[in-house]
Amino acid sequence: MARVTIPSNPDELIALAKGILTKHTADGPASPLSALNMADMTAKTGSADTQNQAATKLYRDAETATQNRDNALGTGAPGPGTVTAYVRSVRDILSGIYKGNEQKLGDWSFDVSASVKGGGGTTTTPTPTPTSTGSGGTGAPPASFWGNTSAIPAATHVLELSIVNQTNGQYPDSQVYWSFNGQTESIAQQPYIDMPANSAGRMYFYLGSPNGPYYDFIEFTVGASSIACVVVEPIAI
């Protein structure tokens, strides 16, 4: 015995109903469906079709509105001129002004927290402490500071970066994060970054958690034959 299915998809169900009504009308008095209230079916099918078209348009409008909203906010790709980029710039400026008294950023509606929650409740995030340079007071770090530079893979774009954890064991690689060009990873997840050519590309670093209270950023301008890097308000780690 053949199985006759009735679709649950609105478009398909409306199309089937229209086909039935067309066949019923074409058969006229000979239609075997005369015992049914076909006038009501016609009206309900028409109403369903109209509302389905309206719903489809609203869905597409919602998709467009959502995309436009995300583009303005910089969701997933906080490039220059987005709300996220502006808010980050505001945070950076105010953090420089109120360095050591970051709670003042709360006056500007920022959520400022100096603690993170662990498995046993709320614990204070350890404050990073300076690393001794070990270079006789020249300010240059020792060679060991840079890690195993011979293990850095060759760049497929322009510049291959190795993100090295120098927090003296206060934060594991899984709690040291970098963020660049809409991508955020921990060192444990991805210790290398294959950077393409860019102008004033900003890379953020976070300790403890992405967007945590301890952060820094550097700006790159990377060209085919030149690299410029600016470090702003470095974290002492």
With contact defined as beta carbons under 8 Å apart, do 141 and 135 qualify?
yes
Residue 165 backbone phi and psi in degrees, to 5 = -85, 110
Q: Which amino acid is present at 81?
A: G
What residues does each domain of the chain span?
A: 10-26+38-73, 74-112, 123-135+143-232
Distance CA 199, CA 230 (A): 12
Tally Cβ neighbours within 10 Å of residue 76: 10
Query: Shortest CA distance to 102 belongs to which of 125, 81, 123?
Result: 125
Percent residues over pLDDT 90 in the chain: 29
50 pLDDT higher than 60? yes
**Lowest-pLDDT range, 1-15, 79-93, 186-200, 212-226?**
212-226
Q: Helix, strand or coil for residue 8?
A: coil
Work out the pLDDT band at 230, boundaries 50, 70, 90. Answer: low
